[in-house]
Amino acid sequence: MTMRKPIRKAVFPVAGLGTRFLPATKSIPKEMLPIIDRPLIQYAVDEAREAGIEQMIFVTGRGKTAIIDHFDVAFELEATMRDRAKALEILEPTRLAPGNLVAVRQQVPLGLGHAIWCARAIVGDEPFAIFLPDELMIGEPGCMKQMVDAYNRVGGNLISVLEVPHEEVSSYGVIAPGKRDGDLTEVKGLVEKPKADEAPSNLIISGRYILQPEVMQVLETQSKGAGGEIQLTDAMARMLGQQPFHAVTFAGKRYDCGSKTGFVEATLALALAREDMADDVRAMATRLLAQ
Ligand code: UTP
C-alpha cells in the first residue's frame, strides 16, 4: 500500500451567524450550545482526537471567543474546585495544548468555502479534515475515524454522506454517485442546494470532509454560488476528475443541530443513551407524550 500523508490537522469553521438560533446566539456562539452538558464544539473536537488528529484550527468571527476560552485553562475555576476538593477530570477533554489550538479570523461571513480558505496558511501543504460542529455525528467508531480508515485505503478526497428523503435535498450539498464498493461511493458530481427535481441523488454531504491542500488554490478563485456565498461544494466540484473523490456512508447517527428540531432530537436521543439519565428521561418523555 502507498504511504499516505497522515491527517494531522482539522479545520472547524465556526464563524457563521447562527441566525436560526436567535436570540440565543446573539452573544453566545451556536457551537457553544450544549447537548446535555457538552457544547457542540466539544463533541466535534473529541471526534477529531479519536481519529488521531492533533491540531485543531478554529475559523472564528466576532463574538466567538467563548469557543477559544472553552479549550483554555480556567485558572480561577480550577483553583476553586481544587480548594473545594471537587474532581477536575470533567475538564480534562477541554484542554488543548497551545500548539494544538490555532484560531484564525474570518472577518466577514462570506460562506463556508471562504471560511476554509481563511485557514490556508495553517493547513499548508497537507491533507486535512473539516468538521461542521453543528452536525453531531454519533457512532462507534466516530465518523472521522471511519473516514480516516477509508482515507488510508483510497487516499484523495473524502466526504461523509447520508441518505435523506428526496424532498429534503434542496437544503444540502448533494452528490452524483458513481461506482459503489461497500461504504465507499465514487463521487461523479457535486451540487449545492439543488431543486428537488434536479438533484442527482438523495445522498447529501453531512458535515465531515478530508480534503487535499489543492482545494485552497481552487477556493482562491471560487466565485459566489448558492445564497450568494462562496461554497465549498462548488470548489470541490471543480476538483473532480483531477483527484480521487469518494463518499463514505457513515455507519452511525447524524443530528442536524443547526436546526431547532434536530437539536431537540439530539438532546433527547443522547439523554436516552446515558446510563445516569435514561430512566428519568424516559419516564418524563412518556408523561409528556401522554398529555
Ligand atoms: P450554516 O449554514 O449552518 O450557517 O453554516 P450559520 O450561519 O452557522 O447558521 P444559520 O444558518 O444562520 O442559522 C455551516 C457551517 O459553516 C460555518 C458555520 O459556522 C457552520 O459551522 N460558516 C458559515 C462559517 O464559518 N463562515 C461562513 O461565512 C458561513
Q: Tell me the per-residue pLDDT of 92-143, one tens digit each, with 9 for 90 and over.
A: 889 998 889 999 999 999 999 999 999 999 999 999 999 999 999 999 999 9
Calpha distance 9→7 (Å, rounded): 6
Which pairing describes strands 135-138 and 157-163: parallel, antiparallel, or unpaired? Answer: unpaired
Q: Cβ(229)–Cβ(113) under 8 Å? A: yes
Four-residue CA torsion sign, 11, 3, 239, 208: negative
* Average pLDDT of span 186-207: 92
pLDDT at 158 over 80: yes
The finding on whether 207 has its CB within 6 A of some atom of ligand 1 is: no
The finding on whether 104 has its CB within 6 A of some atom of ligand 1 is: no
Q: What integer best gives the mean pLDDT of the chain?
A: 93
How is residue 19 written as a grid cell? Answer: 441566525
Domains, the chain, with CATH or none: 9-258 (3.90.550.10)
Q: Cβ(11)–Cβ(123) under 8 Å? A: yes
CA 45-112-231 angle, 5° bins: 140
The finding on whether 226 has its CB within 6 A of some atom of ligand 1 is: no
The finding on whether 106 has its CB within 6 A of some atom of ligand 1 is: yes
Q: Cβ(255)–Cβ(16) under 8 Å? A: no
The finding on whether 258 has its CB within 6 A of some atom of ligand 1 is: yes
To which H or E segment does residue 136 belong?
Answer: strand 135-138
Contacts of 207 (CB under 8 A, 6+ apart): 131, 132, 134, 135, 137, 160, 254
The finding on whether 215 has its CB within 6 A of some atom of ligand 1 is: no
Q: Tell me the per-residue pLDDT of 2-24, one tens digit each, with 9 for 90 and over.
A: 678 999 999 999 999 899 999 99
Calpha distance 232→111 (Å, rounded): 8
Residue 207: strand, helix, or coil: strand
Ligand 1 atom at minimum distance from 59 CA: 25
Of 32, 19, 3, whose CA–CA distance to 94 is shortest? 32
Q: Cβ(184)–Cβ(150) under 8 Å? A: yes
pLDDT of residue 259: 93
Q: Cβ(71)–Cβ(45) under 8 Å? A: yes
Residue 223 pLDDT level (bands cut at 50, 70, 90): confident
Q: Cβ(138)–Cβ(252) under 8 Å? A: yes
pLDDT at 291 over 90: no
pLDDT at 1 over 80: no
pLDDT at 225 over 90: no
Q: Cβ(147)–Cβ(51) under 8 Å? A: yes
Can you name the residues that pair with 138 across neighbouring β-strands?
A: 253
Of 16, 9, 73, 18, whose CA–CA distance to 45 is shortest? 9
Tell me the best of 11, 12, 14 to mutate to test the pocket of ligand 1, counting ligand atoms within 8 Å of each CB and taking the most.
Answer: 14
Q: Tell me the per-residue pLDDT of 250-276, one tens digit each, with 9 for 90 and over.
A: 989 999 999 999 999 999 999 999 999
Closest residue by Cα to atom 3, ligand 1, is 258
Ligand 1 atom at minimum distance from 108 CA: 28
Contacts of 158 (CB under 8 A, 6+ apart): 147, 150, 151, 209, 210, 245, 246, 247, 248
* Average pLDDT of span 189-216: 93
The finding on whether 224 has its CB within 6 A of some atom of ligand 1 is: no
pLDDT of residue 98: 83
Distance, CA 128 to ligand 1 centroid (Å)? 19
Closest residue by Cα to atom 2, ligand 1, is 16
Closest residue by Cα to atom 18, ligand 1, is 16
Distance, CA 237 to ligand 1 centroid (Å)? 20
Tell me the best of 11, 12, 17, 118 to mutate to test the pocket of ligand 1, counting ligand atoms within 8 Å of each CB and taking the most.
Answer: 17
The finding on whether 111 has its CB within 6 A of some atom of ligand 1 is: yes
Please return the burial class of 100, using the count of CB atoms within 10 Å of its CB with bins 0-12, 13-18 and 19+: middle
Residue 279 pLDDT level (bands cut at 50, 70, 90): very high
Q: Tell me the per-residue pLDDT of 21-61, one tens digit each, with 9 for 90 and over.
A: 999 999 999 999 999 999 999 999 999 999 999 999 999 99
pLDDT at 235 over 90: yes
Calpha distance 11→31 (Å, rounded): 14
Ligand 1 atom at minimum distance from 111 CA: 28
Closest residue by Cα to atom 29, ligand 1, is 111
pLDDT of residue 171: 87
Q: Cβ(122)–Cβ(100) under 8 Å? A: no
Determine if the peptide bond prior to 23 is cis (ω within 30°). yes
Which pairing describes strands 173-181 and 184-192: parallel, antiparallel, or unpaired? Answer: antiparallel
The finding on whether 233 has its CB within 6 A of some atom of ligand 1 is: no
